[in-house]
Amino acid sequence: MTQRIGYAGGAFDLFHIGHLNILRHAKSQCDYLIAGVASDELMRNTKGFAPVVPLVERLEIVRSIDVVDHAVAEVHEDKLETWHELGFHVYFKGDDWKGTERGKILERRFAEVGVDVVYFPYTLSTSSTVLRRALDILTGIDSDADSAERH
């Protein structure tokens, strides 16, 4: 019997219950779960800011979670490149991509190589964006300032 390998990528910055929920949901739908933790450089390139928690620490946090079988640094914007390296069968993504042009392209490209895309709802009560804004307020940092200067 073939083991179903899943991949859940994310920044996992300011780790919170929403991150844990996604990883738990992902593990419930695969036999072996790989968590991809976005590198600091990838976050700067895709989100426009550096993480609060450095990659090495985010990787250690994610590796310590019992539902995660393996954690890797996610360094490719193109998720198909990540698939070529890891060979997963199912890709887990937040439902904010569902129905979008980016989501449709992702689904089409993964379908071509036999990978299923499964969407999970975000935990609305907590987000890294909200936590980052709260930190900015507590530390007196202007949220509108260039985030690269802050980190």
Q: Which domains does the chain have, with CATH numbers?
A: 10-114 (3.40.50.620)
Q: What pLDDT shows up at residue 47?
A: 84
> HSE of 53 in the Cβ direction (CA atoms, 13 Å)?
18
Burial 72-97 (b: 16+ CB within 10 A, else e): bebeeeebeebbeeeebbbbbbbeeb
pTM for the structure as a whole: 0.82
Q: What pLDDT shows up at residue 147?
A: 43
d(CA 67, CA 117): 19
Q: What pLDDT shows up at residue 145?
A: 46
Task: Estimate the share of the chain in helix, then strand, then coil, as percent rounded to the nearest 5.
Answer: 40, 20, 40
Q: What pLDDT shows up at residue 29?
A: 97
Helix (H) or strand (E) holding 86: helix 79-86
Q: What pLDDT shows up at residue 144?
A: 43
Q: What pLDDT shows up at residue 143?
A: 44
Low-confidence ranges of the chain (pLDDT < 70): 1, 122-139, 141-151
